[in-house]
Structure 1
Amino acid sequence: MIDAIALPSRRSSWLGLLTVLSLVLLVAMDGSVLYLAIPRVTAALKPTADQTLWILDIYGFLVSALLIAFGTIGDRHGRLKLIMIGASVFGLGSLGAAFSETPAALIACRALMGLGGATLLPSGLAIVSALFPDPRERAQAIGLFAATFAAGFAIGPVLGGLLLQSFAWGVVFLINVPVVVVFLVAAPVFLREVRDAGSGRIDLASLLLSFLGLLLTVWSVKTAAADGFGSRQALVGGLGLGALALFIDRQRRIDDPLLDLNLFRDPVFTIAILTGLLSLVVWSATGSLSGIYLQAVLDHPVLAAALLTLPGAITLTVTCIGTSRIVERVGRKAALVATHALIGTGVLLLLLTTVETGGPALIASTIVAGLGYGLSFSLVAEIAVSAVPAERAGAAGSIAETSNELGNALGISLLGSVSALCFRLFGPGLAGTLNETLAHPGLPPEAALQAKQAFVTGLHAVAGLAGASTLLVAVAAGLWLPRKLPT
């Protein structure tokens, strides 16, 4: 049973919502803000190809690995208490990241930000729900919560590009600090404690197995792409897959699993979670590679690169806000199928990019795919929760949020590794990344061209894989889902 101490007034409820949304925006933005900043980071800190990928995705990995566990901790010990601690950790991590002087320091600070960020989404959503006892207002508030999260992902690269036009790369992290300070001052005034005395215990073995399994498996894939596949990658990858197998087996046997596998027996729930996972895999991979493409291949200044991403960001945000009206017209099934069809079609437009030109193709890609992303961000949690019994709604919501964060991390790691492999195979062999190669002293023009062509080849490989995968899921959703989805 949920215990919300003192029902808030209508005015304080909306002020409390604004307080929570400020943090939601930050968590979402920090999943994408580095897409345009990474060339500046690599120029300043000179990370290896492997370190560059970890700088991008360690944040998402920690958020996704700890999201469900922190949801349970918040239920038991208090959501407001947890979110205050998490916001403080997030702010400290942001401050450290802004002034990092080595790749290892930046990776560590991004990890600290992920640790704090994992507390914010589930706790924030529970607090928002408790602020609005009226079902209609609660639905509006949760819709704004989802729209803010989507907008944060969309505007992260744009805001990063605008700031980088005038400031050093650390500013993309430093902007978090004043927002966190304002939240820590406002939260005790406008928010109330929320807890669930009936929540289950946290299974530490499951948490450790899931985290190690993901970490070791992805490390194996990433290093194999950058350095070639050897016995070390095989051993570590085998250990990672073994840990994931043990994790899944344990979820079947324990009373309070971190991942309720029984929920996946419902095809509606499964397709919804796959949608959340795959859409963020594609979004993060193509978004990070597009930022490098615009600056390092086409030689656009960071502000021009940011402006080229703006139409897609606007499309995504507007679509997310208008999803409920779209669903009323076409139905949930058609909207879910359209999500994958639009993302797949949009991503395949990246195949039209070349070393010489690609701005128009990229804009068209982000607009078409942005329609699909906007639908996905709004639909996934709603469909996942409505597909399961009411007593399992909390677990379904946590899995839906986790699928988004995990997709964000896996996209950069796995599809980013495909790009890195192409660069290793077809590049001039002077360095592991495009930016490192272009900064090589005395680089001949033909080697620079070869490096750019190799990067575009990697971008095309990622776009082809991502586009084909999403279109296949669109077909699967059309065939497997019932004509009318539950509401």
Structure 2
Amino acid sequence: MTIDQRLEVRRTPPPTSRAPWLGVGVLTLPVFLVSMDASVLFLATPRLTAALRPSAAEQLWILDVYGFLIAGLLITMGNLGDRIGRRRLLLAGATLFGLASVVAAFAPSPEVLIAARAAMGVGGATLMPSSLSLLTNLFPDPAQRGRAIGVWTAAFAGGSALGPVIGGVLLHHFWWGSVFLINVPVLAVLLVAAPRWVPEFRTGGSDPFDLVGIVLSMLAILPSVYAIKHLATEGADLSAMAVGLFGLTMLAAFVAYERRTLFPLLDLGLFANRAFTAAILVALLGMVSLAAMFYLTGIYLQSVLGQDVLAAALAGLPVAVTVAVASMGASRVVAHLGVGRAFVVALLAAAAGNGVLLGLGVTHGLVLYMVGTSIAGVGYGVMFSVVSEVAVGSVPAERSGAAAGVSETCFELGSALGLAVLGSLAVAVFRSRDDGRGFGDTLSATLLSTHDQALADAARAAFVDGLHAATLVGVVLLVLSAVLVGRARLTLAGAAEGHHEG
């Protein structure tokens, strides 16, 4: 049963006329942190590797277990918030997120850091759906609600883009764990301000949780990702094949179960809508390429070009600005081009920006990096701002809640898959260039363990080859998405018009 179908709705009105916009300010804090923490470690990877010495697989788990748990639990946490109160869930999740951030900051080993990142993912899964749903409840007027959602979306996109910049500034002055401790004071503000400026909301629904669906989805995602990482770092063997086959079997079981259960975790019927499917694929594939771009270029700037962490952070400012500006200006682009053309142009801009990164070299590339990522940032900013509107606007009103949940899930899942799949591809190419030279598991590990300049130069060249391979796949995914959206353009336009009329 969706939110619109439920009869029992209990709200506490905001105490003053200014409270809705004060509430917006409060509710942008958690979404900014959640998106920032998906990317804040990108510039910290070399320092973290030096301190904890994780293997290549552990390094990728540190980065993406967070995103996978958010993606796997977003819809579940949204349903839980309907029952116990969305503000209550928001505050509980913020507390867990803050405590896990402290553990991560002082983690003594890769295993502890992975566990702390997993706990942060569980907390983050409560913050995103709670903040967005509470924000929409603050504004009965559709125009004001649209502006508020635009601010929320800009905070999400800005957090992802500014994560590496903020991380770089902190790393210039403090140790690698400082990128997690920054969460604590921000969450403290949230815990104090939310009870005052954000009214509680709950629907009193009692539909049963799809516990089987939750378990099957995680059993499908995590083993499949493990198999991909294992194949990249250790090569094909019986263990990787068995785990990968198990993951695919669980995926098939998940789809079969969701089709027949009365209260599914994922409403598969939504994918019968062409516009919805196109928007969801754009969200997924766009985030795959964006996450890989930020992660690999963060290592490139420091370990290949030799930039210090502050210089690398400053080099990331142009893309942070273009993503934020494009996110807030997306509505004007749509008004001028129409939603279908805006999607296609945004995807092609992101592809072109990533294509510029194919020119990055071992001894040059700083200017190309800044130009390429800035162009890509314009595309990503417009793209992600339009995705949610199209996804929700393309389905009937009574299914809009489920559509929003799937949209948010695909953003997080795409980010995690970008790190897992394209990150693993880059590692595989790096390892394939070894030829008995004695590379470590990663470029950072190799540079830390050798004083042989020839070996170090060969490792840097191998990493650039891996970056090019992953980037090329990202470009292909973006172009294919543009073709898909171009074919669905009329359907997308109709969906957007219907949404605005509603």
Aligned to 1:477: 485
Report the counterpart of residue 124 of structure 1 in structure 2: 131
Checking the alignment, whether the CA contact within 8 Å between 1:72 and 1:199 is kept in structure 2 is: no
- In the TM superposition, residue 360 of structure 1 has moved relative to its aligned partner by 1.3
TM-score normalized with structure 1 length: 0.98
Q: For each residue in 1:312-368, what CA deviation from the matched residue of structure 2 results, as whole angstroms up to 9, or x when unmatched?
A: 110010000000011000000001111211111111111101101011111111111
Q: Does 1:287 align with 2:275?
A: no
Q: Which among 247, 251, 257 is matched to residue 258 of structure 2?
A: 251
Letter in 2 for 1:473: S
Residues 292-331 of structure 1: pairs in structure 2 closer than 5 A: 292-331=299-338
Is the 2:439–2:459 contact (alpha carbons within 8 Å) kept by the matching residues of 1? no
The answer (yes or no) to whether the contact 2:104–2:117 under 8 Å persists in 1 is yes
In the TM superposition, 1:222-301 aligns within 5 A as 222-301=229-308
Contact 1:320 1:375 in 2 (8 A): yes
State yes or no: 1:436 paired with 2:442: no
Question: Structure 1 residues 122 and 269, CA, compared in 2 at 3 Å: closer, same or farther?
Answer: same
SS of corresponding position for 1:197: coil
- Contact 1:72–1:201 (8 Å) recurs in 2: no
Partner residue, 2:419: 412
The answer for the alignment partner of 2:31 in structure 1 is 24
- Other-structure match for 1:335: 342
Cα distance in structure 2, aligned partners of 1:444 and 1:125: 52
Aligned with 2:202: secondary structure?
A: strand
User: 2: distance between equivalents of 1:129 and 1:445?
Assistant: 57
The one-character-per-residue Cα deviations of 1:139-168 (angstroms, maximum 9, x if unpaired) are 111111111111111111111111111111
Asked if residue 160 in structure 1 is aligned to residue 167 in structure 2, the reply is: yes
Q: Could you tell me which of 3, 13, 20 is aligned with 2:9?
A: 3
The one-letter code sitting in structure 2 at the alignment partner of 1:290 is T
- Structure 1 residue 64: Cα displacement: 0.5
Q: Counterparts of 2:242 and 2:17 in 1: how far apart (Å)? A: 57
1:454 aligns with 2:444: no
Look up the equivalent residue of 2:201 and give its one-letter code. V
Structure 2: gaps spanning 5 or more residues: 1-5, 497-502
Show structure 1 runs of 5+ residues with no match: none
> 1:393 matched to which residue of 2?
400
Q: What's the TM-score once normalised by structure 2's chain length?
A: 0.95
Tell me the CA shift for residue 472 of structure 1.
1.5
2:101 is the alignment partner of 1:99: no
**Residue-pair matches, total:** 486
Per-residue deviation, residues 206-240 of structure 1 (Å, max 9, x unmatched): 00010111000000010110011100000000000
State the distance in 2 between where 1:201 and 1:341 align. Answer: 43
Name 2:500's counterpart in structure 1. none
Measured after TM superposition, the shift of residue 5 of structure 1 is 2.2
CA deviation vs aligned residue, 1:176-226 (integer Å, no higher than 9, x gap): 001111211111111221112346321101000101110000000101100
Distance 1:395 1:270 in 2: 13
* Partner-residue secondary structure (3-state), 1:256: coil
SS of the residue corresponding to residue 28 of structure 2 reads helix
**Secondary structure at 1:439 match in 2:** helix
Counterpart residue identity of residue 460, structure 2:
K
3-state DSSP class of the match of 2:9? Answer: strand
Q: How does 1:78-93 map to 2 (within 5 A)?
A: 78-93=85-100
C-alpha contact (below 8 Å) 2:285/2:481 kept by paired residues:
no
Structure 1 residue aligned with 2:472: 464
SS in 2 for 1:165: helix
Which of 364, 371, 381 is residue 371 of structure 2 equivalent to?
364
CA contact (8 A) 2:10 2:203 kept: no
Cα offset, 1:4, TM superposition: 4.2
Query: In 2, distance between residues paired with 1:215 and 1:339?
Result: 31
Q: Secondary structure at the match of 2:42?
A: helix
CA pair 7-105 structure 1, distance change in 2 beyond 3 A: same
Provide, for residues 221-262 of structure 1, a one-character-per-residue CA deviation record: whole Å limited to 9, x for no partner.
101100111000000000001111111111111111111111
Partner of 1:215: 222
Structure 2 CA distance for aligned equivalents of residues 210 and 339 of structure 1:
31
**Contact 1:269 1:383 (8 Å CA) reproduced:** yes
Q: What's the C-alpha RMSD, in Å, of the aligned pairs?
A: 1.2
Using the alignment, how far apart are the partners of 1:313 and 1:178 within structure 2? Answer: 23
